[in-house]
Chains A and B, each alone.
Chain A
């Protein structure tokens, strides 16, 4: 339908100013493109965590004003740069959830004409107030003077690898050993990044192939202990929120997921915050890794999308409504009330992920 109208518009305007060459210039002007309905239609794959942002009517509207209409399909970050069936669909752009994917896309021969980080969100751990109270008393989790929760990443890995019982960590109400769930690192980005974080934290610097050999067994234990690993970050977060502390005592997620969930139903959030029951708690691992969301333009037609998404209005919506930080990890607007105290202004303790070859080797070995 849109395509037909576009074609029709093209004939009418093209007919009126044929031969002047002006049409070509006009239609490429972003402002006029939006006005004439002559939008550039771009199709691409995006990580599921950005779907609510792209579905936000204010976002679609601002993009349309800049002459861009998106047709995005959800795909796993790892899949979109590797899976032939997706690549064969010749997307105009890819919007995965980790900068490693840029490297992987290039390694796989995808024609990346420009890549730019648009959004950022750190990998965090979600737990529950009744559990975290015990972990704080026990010392595994610390509460900073300004009220944020932090966990020493290496201490967490050590506790999981040693299969330390919850009761020895100050949480007698839970049975068995401490456990955390992430998504499947071979299918979804948050699990992929957590695998990288575990390896980087164990190494203490950027891991190479030798470090992978040295620490692989520990990484494997952490992932084996998880049991079922969800194929997507959104599903895992939903499972956490639906199941509560008994089902999902600790999960790996993105910082933005709690913001987005709270925003989706502010009354519910207020009720939970003021209620006497357990509450979701966000814990920052020290160190953590940033999930950068680089947009990969696979042709020049998609490069205007990068500039549009970096515009201050779109960046502000990304933070306020969806909890995504800007390209440098900054909060791009004022923090929403009721959530501000949970979110640290700046995530200082971060590690780079291992390079693409090490990451690939790591996830392949975890898969076997």
Chain B
């Protein structure tokens, strides 16, 4: 009835209603692999005179957001339907349609692929296992629990490893033959990340620095983009391997979440969706190198590029997706047992400026990081094999705490960290240099995926050169920064850039920054 009255008032003052009524912003949450398609979305919104905001999150976060009591987004556009199938228990998402089809494949440095005899023939997951066992192959891959491309690669590995050769079932996750094969495949991981796009940038930058990797699991379209850059820079291309047992295909589903109950929002969504699935726009999407859904309004296909084995006309076998609860358990198993163990040395700023609220927030972040019930929910739990070093610092490193990922040890470490108080100046370089030493001691045989993490709230004294010299002589772990309060971002950026790490913004949400960092080793 209230709507009815509003409608009447508008009729009386028609001009005022149609011209000044602010249109609500239409909010979309999307996977980062859709970033290059945003201009198409924004063009449409502009033509419709409606403001659209696109937020980029990892697939897991998009999935988890569906269980929030209050929905923040009108539309979800994750990389793949599995994240909706796992998390959308109340079936909030409607009108799903696939915008593109992105297989997740293994790109191998072309000369290496040739050396392995993989050029121009079918390659099986067993061939990949053997190459890893023989020490001939390694790759970079995103975290299976934080990013869809990593999850897809992992499920393809698992699917190929199940001994009966059919769909993955619950009991397969307890089969030692299966888990051993997958563990070997995951041992091939030389670097991990929480974002597919970031990982591709790292791959290209490392190749250019002459410290490249052997290969990368990523979306076919992302491998294509990386190859375009590698070609320009005169570096080896990535030769695409589509394991014979099947790959997982990200179907890029765009769906509607009715959070306002307003039919014009739903109408707008449907218009946007038909725009994105229209023949013209589908052709533009194919031009980006993406495969189109079979039933697309357009019959355009991306250009084949035989030099790196990209043939969109060729039928690719895909793996059979297991039931959502099996996927969920498989992801838990990855995080808590199968992935390559990590060693993480964290320098935490306890300088005087942290006293009060700063220490309190850091305490909360550590409580999250070292409380298994909390980390499990976000699939960033430590495994018993992981090694954790915490070094509080001010103008110099204080006494460190060491622990494994065993739950009781985490608990003990947390109570120790909770007692720390803030005082003194800030020198993050001294702490970072010490962190290198701990990592080198623990990781001398490179069994672990290493990370140095530096959380700081202010400008640091000391010199970066001193640290970088030490880093050159070390096992060269990446350095990740977490900014807080008045942190000097440039100092952390310089460290991250020189070491292949990344800086996370902890000013808005310190817990979230630590959690994101956990997706990187």
Residues of A at the B interface (CB closer than 8 Å) are: 1, 4, 130, 163, 173-177, 179, 224-229, 231, 235, 238-239, 241-247, 261, 265, 268, 271, 275
Give bound CA distance, A171 to B166, whole Å. Answer: 17
Binds A, one of B37-45, B96-104, B134-142, B441-449: B96-104
- Which residue of the partner chain B has the closest CB to A244? B294
Report the minimum CB–CB distance from A361 to chain B (whole Å): 21
Let me know if A238 and B96 touch, CB within 8 A.
yes
* B4, A175: Cβ atoms closer than 8 Å: no
Contact yes or no, A246 B318, CB < 8 A: yes
Nearest residue (CB) in B for A131 is B315
Cα–Cα distance between A163 and B163 once the two chains are bound (Å): 13
Chain B residues positioned under 8 Å from A265 (CB to CB): 297
Closest residue of chain A to B99 (Cβ to Cβ) is A242
CB-based contact B4/A241 at 8 Å? no
Q: How far is it, in angstroms, between the C-alpha of A128 and the C-alpha of B63 when the chains are bound?
A: 32
- Check A231/B293 contact, CB under 8 A, given A1-B4, A174-B317: no
Closest 9 interchain pairs by CB? Answer: A244-B294, A242-B293, A242-B98, A241-B295, A227-B167, A228-B321, A227-B320, A175-B317, A247-B318
Whether A176 pairs with B245 at a CB distance below 8 angstroms is yes
**B457, CB-defined interface residue at 8 Å:** no
Residues of A within 8 A of B284 (CB): none
Chain B, Cβ-Cβ closest to A229: B323
* Inter-chain contacts of B326 with A (CB < 8 A): 227
Residue of A174, A225, A261 touching B166 (CB-CB under 8 A): A225
Contact A247 B249 (CB under 8 A): yes
The answer to whether B519 has its CB under 8 Å from any CB of chain A is: no
Docked-complex contact A228 and B323, CB < 8 angstroms: yes
Closest to A165 in B: B165
CB distance from B246 to the nearest CB of A (A): 6
Tell me the B212-269 residues at the A interface (CB within 8 Å).
244-246, 249, 251
**Residue in chain B with minimal CB distance to A231:** B91
B: interface residue count bin: 35 or more
Asked whether B272 is an interface residue with its Cβ less than 8 Å from the other chain, the reply is no
Q: If A228-B85, A242-B101, A243-B251 touch, does A175 touch B246 (CB 8 Å cutoff)?
A: yes
Residues of B within 8 A of A226 (CB): 167, 320
25 A-B interface contacts by CB (under 8 A): A1-B4, A130-B315, A163-B164, A173-B315, A174-B317, A176-B165, A176-B317, A224-B169, A227-B168, A227-B320, A227-B323, A227-B326, A228-B323, A239-B98, A242-B98, A242-B101, A242-B293, A243-B98, A243-B251, A243-B293, A245-B294, A246-B315, A265-B297, A268-B295, A275-B299
Given A231-B91, A247-B101, 14 more A-B residue pairs with CB atoms under 8 Å apart are A163-B164, A176-B166, A177-B166, A224-B169, A227-B321, A227-B322, A238-B96, A242-B293, A243-B318, A244-B101, A244-B294, A246-B315, A246-B317, A268-B297
CB neighbours (8 Å) of B293 from chain A are 241-244
Show the binding face of B for A, using Cβ within 8 Å.
1, 3-4, 7, 81-82, 85, 91, 96-98, 101, 164-169, 244-246, 249, 251, 293-295, 297, 299, 315-318, 320-324, 326
**How far in angstroms is the closest Cβ of chain A from B244?**
6
Q: Beyond A268-B297, A271-B299, is A246–B249 a contact (Cβ under 8 Å)?
A: yes
Q: In the assembled complex, which residues on chain B have CB atoms less than 8 Å from the CB atom of A243?
A: 98, 101, 249, 251, 293-294, 318
Indicate which residue in B91, B295, B297, B322 contacts A242 across the interface (CB closer than 8 Å). B295
Complex-state Cα separation, A242 to B130, whole angstroms: 34
Alpha-carbon separation in the docked complex, A4 to B3 (Å): 12
- Give bound CA distance, A268 to B323, whole Å: 33
A242-B317 contact, Cβ under 8 Å, with A163-B165, A176-B165, A229-B323: no
**CB proximity of B434 to chain A, nearest CB, Å:** 48
Least CB distance, A162 to chain B, in whole angstroms: 12
Residues of A within 8 A of B245 (CB): 175-176
Chain B residues with CB under 8 Å of A4's CB are 1, 4
Report the separation of the CA atoms of residues A368 and B3 in the bound assembly, to the nearest whole angstrom: 47
A349 to chain B, nearest CB (A): 29
> Which residues on the A side are within 8 Å of B320 (C-beta)?
176, 179, 226-228
Residue in B167, B244, B315 whose beta carbon sits within 8 Å of that of A245 in the complex:
B315
For B169, the chain A residues whose CB sits under 8 A away are: 224
- With a 10 A CB-CB cut-off, give which of A225, A235, A243 has the most chain B CB atoms: A243
Tell me how far the C-beta of A256 lies from the nearest C-beta in chain B, rounded to whole angstroms.
16
Nearest A residue to B86, CB-CB = A228
A141 CB, min distance to chain B CBs, angstroms: 19
Q: Which residue of B lies closest to A177 (CB)?
A: B166
Q: Report which residue of B245, B316, B326 has the largest number of chain A beta carbons within 10 angstroms of its beta carbon.
A: B316
B124 nearest CB neighbor, chain A only: A175
Which of B167, B244, B326 counts the most chain A CB atoms within 10 A?
A: B167
How far does the Cβ of A362 sit from chain B's closest Cβ, in whole Å?
18
**Chain A residues with CB below 8 A from B323, complex form:** 227-229
Contact B315 A177 (CB under 8 A): no
Whether A238 contacts B317 by the Cβ 8 Å rule is no
Please give the distance in Å from A161's CB to the nearest CB on chain B: 12
Compute how far the CA of A139 lies from the CA of B97 in the bound complex, rounded to whole angstroms.
35
Closest beta carbon of chain B to A166's beta carbon, Å: 9
A265 to B244, CA, bound (A): 35
Interface contact B251-A242, CB-CB below 8 Å: yes
A243 to B317, CA, bound (A): 11
**Which residues of chain B are within 8 angstroms of A231 by Cβ–Cβ distance?**
91
Query: In the complex, how many angstroms separate the beta carbon of B39 from the nearest chain A beta carbon?
Result: 23
Query: Which B residues are in CB contact (< 8 Å) with A176?
Result: 165-166, 245-246, 317, 320
Most buried by A among B97, B165, B168, B326: B165
How distant is B422 from chain A, measured CB to nearest CB, in Å? 50
A176-B245, A228-B321, A247-B249 known; A261 and B167 CB under 8 Å?
Answer: no
Closest to B316 in A: A246
The distance in angstroms between the C-alpha atoms of A228 and B326, with both chains bound, is 9
Tell me the nearest residue of chain A to B294, going by C-beta: A244
B85: chain A residues at CB < 8 Å are: 228
